[in-house]
Amino acid sequence: MTNPLTRATAVVRPATGLIPSLGGASRDRLTTTLQYVGLAVVLVLLVALPYLGLAPYYVNITTTTLCSALLAASVNFLLGQAGLVSMGQAGISTVAMYGVAWGFKQGWDLGGQLLLALVLTLVVSAIFGIVSMRTSGIYFMMVTLAAGMLVFGLAYSMSSITAADTGISVDRPGDLNSRFNYWQWYYLALAVFIVGTAILWVVSRSPFGASLRGIRDSESRMRSLGYNVAAYKVGAFMISGFVAGMAGVITLWNNKLVTSDSASITNSTLPIIVLVLGGVGTLLGPLVGAIVVTFFSIIMPSFFERWETLLGVVFILVIMFARAGIVGGLGRLYRWIRRRTGGSVRTPDVGTPVPTSNHRTTA
Amino acid sequence: MSMKMSARGRIAATAGLGVAAALSLAACAPPGGSAGTGASSTPLATGTVKVGFIAPLSGPLAAVGAQFQQGWDYYWDQNGFTAGGVTIDVVGVEDDAADTQKATAAAQKLVEQDGAEILVGSIASNTATAISKYAADNEIVNIEPISASNDFTAENANDYTIRAGSQAATQTSYPGGEYAAKELGYKKALTLCTDYSYGWESCAGFAQGFTDNGGTVETQLWQPNGNTDFSALISQVVGSDADVIYFGTAGGAYGPNFLDSYLKAGGDVSKLFFNSSAADVATLQAATKAGYGDQIVGLYSSGYYAEGADAPEAAQEFVTSYLKDNGVIPGQYAAGGYFAASLLAKVFSEKGLVTGPDLVKTIQGFTFPDSIYGSVSWDSKNNQTSPVYIRQVEKHDDGQLYNDVVFTYDAVDQWNGRDEAKVIASHPFDKSNQYVK
**CB burial string A180-193: b at 16+ within 10 A, e below:** bbbbbbbbbbbbbb
Cβ pair B394, B406 in contact under 8 A:
no
Residue of A nearest to B11 (CA): A202
Give just the sign of the alpha carbon dihedral A17, A22, A27, A33: positive
- pLDDT(A119) > 90: yes
- pLDDT(A20) > 80: no
Give the pLDDT of residue B226.
83
Give the pLDDT of residue B30.
56
Q: Which of A43, A298, A310, A362 to mutate to test the interface with B (most CBs of B within 10 A)?
A: A298
Give the pLDDT of residue A21.
46
Residue of B nearest to A68 (CA): B101
The closest alpha carbon to A236, from A78, A93, A117, belongs to A78
Residue A180 has its nearest CB partner, among B1, B39, B133, at B39
Give the pLDDT of residue A323.
86
Spatial separation of the C-alpha atoms in residues B34 and B36, rounded to whole Å: 5
Query: Across the A/B interface, how many CB contacts are shorter than 8 Å?
Result: 187
Give DSSP secondary structure letters for B73-87: HHHHHHH-SEETTEE
Residues of chain A with pLDDT > 90, as a percent, come to: 65
Q: How far is CA A264 from CA A128, B246, B318, B382, in A?
A: 16, 29, 39, 31
Amino acid type, B155: E
Give the pLDDT of residue B320.
95
- Burial bucket for residue A4 (CB in 10 Å: 0-12, 13-18, 19+): middle
Q: How close, in Å, is residue A355 to chain B by CA atoms?
A: 9
Spatial separation of the C-alpha atoms in residues B425 and B432, rounded to whole Å: 15
Secondary structure of B355-366 as H, E, C letters: CHHHHHHHHHCC
Cβ pair B186, B162 in contact under 8 A:
no
Spatial separation of the C-alpha atoms in residues A53 and A59, rounded to whole Å: 10
Task: Give strand pairing partners of B193.
Answer: B222, B248
Residue B425 contacts A where some CB pair is shorter than 8 Å: no
State chain B's mean pLDDT as an integer.
Answer: 88
End-to-end CA distance of chain B: give it in Å, rounded.
Answer: 69
- Burial bucket for residue B292 (CB in 10 Å: 0-12, 13-18, 19+): middle
CB contact under 8 A, A256 and B137: yes
Helix (H) or strand (E) holding B408: strand B401-412
CB contact under 8 A, B124 and A165: yes
Give the pLDDT of residue B29.
53
Which has the minimum average pLDDT: B26-30, B61-65, B111-115, B364-368? Answer: B26-30
Give the pLDDT of residue B20.
45
Give the pLDDT of residue B377.
95
- pLDDT(A74) > 60: yes
Which has the minimum average pLDDT: A2-16, B4-18, B215-229, B387-401? Answer: A2-16
Q: Which of A27, A35, A165, A251 to mutate to test the interface with B (most CBs of B within 10 A)?
A: A165
Residue B94 contacts A where some CB pair is shorter than 8 Å: yes
Identify the three-state secondary structure at position A25: coil
The model carries a pTM of 0.85
Q: What is the mean pLDDT of residues B417-426?
A: 91
Task: Give strand pairing partners of B144.
Answer: B163
Give DSSP secondary structure letters for B3-47: HHHHHHHHHHHHHHHHHHHHHHHH--PPTT--SSS-PPPPPPSSS
Q: How close, in Å, is residue A214 to chain B by CA atoms?
A: 15
Helix (H) or strand (E) holding B89: strand B86-95
- Confidence category of residue B437, pLDDT binned at 50, 70, 90: confident
CB contact under 8 A, B9 and A202: yes
CB contact under 8 A, B428 and A257: no
Cβ pair B291, B373 in contact under 8 A:
no
Task: Say which DSSP state A22 is in.
Answer: S
- pLDDT(B336) > 70: yes
Spatial separation of the C-alpha atoms in residues A149 and A147, rounded to whole Å: 5
For domain A13-352, which CATH number applies: 1.10.1760, 1.10.150, 1.10.3470, 1.10.287?
Answer: 1.10.3470
Residue B22 contacts A where some CB pair is shorter than 8 Å: no
Interface of B with A in 272-311 (CB under 8 A): none
Q: What is the mean pLDDT of residues B368-380?
A: 95
The residues near B351 (Cβ < 8 Å, ≥ 6 apart) are B362, B366
- Confidence category of residue B37, pLDDT binned at 50, 70, 90: very low
B39 neighbourhood in chain A, CB within 8 Å: 178, 180
Give the pLDDT of residue B379.
93
CB contact under 8 A, A160 and B27: no
Give the pLDDT of residue A359.
38
Task: Say which DSSP state A179 is in.
Answer: G
Spatial separation of the C-alpha atoms in residues B84 and B251, rounded to whole Å: 36
Residue B144 contacts A where some CB pair is shorter than 8 Å: no
Spatial separation of the C-alpha atoms in residues A139 and A133, rounded to whole Å: 10
Residue A183 has its nearest CB partner, among B33, B36, B225, at B33
Give the pLDDT of residue A27.
54
CB contact under 8 A, A205 and B9: yes
Q: What is the mean pLDDT of residues B50-58?
A: 94
Give just the sign of the alpha carbon dihedral B62, B68, B69, B70: positive
CB contact under 8 A, B104 and A44: no
Q: What is the mean pLDDT of residues A47-73?
A: 94
Give the pLDDT of residue A8.
38
Residue of A nearest to B107 (CA): A57
The residues near B428 (Cβ < 8 Å, ≥ 6 apart) are A159, A160, A163, A164, A166, B150, B151, B197, B200, B201
Residue of B nearest to A182 (CA): B33
SS3 content of chain A, % helix, strand, coil (to 5): 75, 0, 25
Q: What does R_g of chain A's alpha carbons equal in angstroms?
A: 21
A254 neighbourhood in chain B, CB within 8 Å: 101, 104
Give me the residue spans of the domains in chain A: 13-352
**Bridge pairing between strands B188-194 and B216-223:** parallel
- Burial bucket for residue A67 (CB in 10 Å: 0-12, 13-18, 19+): buried
- Confidence category of residue B140, pLDDT binned at 50, 70, 90: very high
Residue of B nearest to A39 (CA): B16
Q: How far is CA B312 from CA B284, B300, B323, in A?
A: 20, 18, 17
Spatial separation of the C-alpha atoms in residues A207 and A324, rounded to whole Å: 25
CB contact under 8 A, A160 and B102: no
Nearest 5°: the CA angle B29, B33, B34 is 75
- pLDDT(B236) > 50: yes
Q: What does R_g of chain B's alpha carbons equal in angstroms?
A: 24
Query: pLDDT tens, A135-146?
Result: 888 999 999 999
Residue A181 has its nearest CB partner, among B37, B133, B200, at B37
Residue B97 contacts A where some CB pair is shorter than 8 Å: yes
Query: pLDDT tens, B105-118?
Result: 999 999 999 999 99
Nearest 5°: the CA angle B337, B343, B349 is 140
CB contact under 8 A, B30 and A60: no
Residue of A nearest to B15 (CA): A40
A53 neighbourhood in chain B, CB within 8 Å: 31
Within 10 angstroms of residue B3's Cβ, the number of other Cβ atoms is 9
Give the pLDDT of residue B13.
47
State chain A's mean pLDDT as an integer.
Answer: 86
Cβ pair A289, A65 in contact under 8 A:
no
Query: pLDDT tens, B173-205?
Result: 999 999 999 999 999 999 999 988 899 999 999
Please state the φ and ψ torsions of residue B191, each to the nearest 5 degrees.
Answer: -115, 145
Identify the three-state secondary structure at position B221: strand
Contacts 24+ apart (CB under 8 A), A169-176: A169/A101, A169/A256, A169/A257, A169/B129, A169/B133, A169/B156, A170/A100, A170/A101, A170/A104, A170/A105, A170/A252, A170/A253, A170/A256, A170/A257, A170/A258, A171/A104, A171/A256, A171/B137, A172/A253, A172/A256, A173/A110, A173/A253, A175/B37, A176/A253
Residues of chain B with pLDDT > 90, as a percent, come to: 75
- Confidence category of residue A3, pLDDT binned at 50, 70, 90: very low
ipTM: 0.82
Cβ pair B222, B196 in contact under 8 A:
no
Spatial separation of the C-alpha atoms in residues B90 and B51, rounded to whole Å: 5
Q: What is the mean pLDDT of residues A265-269?
A: 91
Helix (H) or strand (E) holding B236: helix B231-239
Identify the three-state secondary structure at position B218: strand
- Confidence category of residue A343, pLDDT binned at 50, 70, 90: low
Spatial separation of the C-alpha atoms in residues B41 and A179, rounded to whole Å: 11
Helix axes A325-340, A285-294, angle to 10 degrees: 120
Identify the three-state secondary structure at position B368: strand
Q: What is the mean pLDDT of residues B239-266?
A: 93
Spatial separation of the C-alpha atoms in residues A209 and A15, rounded to whole Å: 8
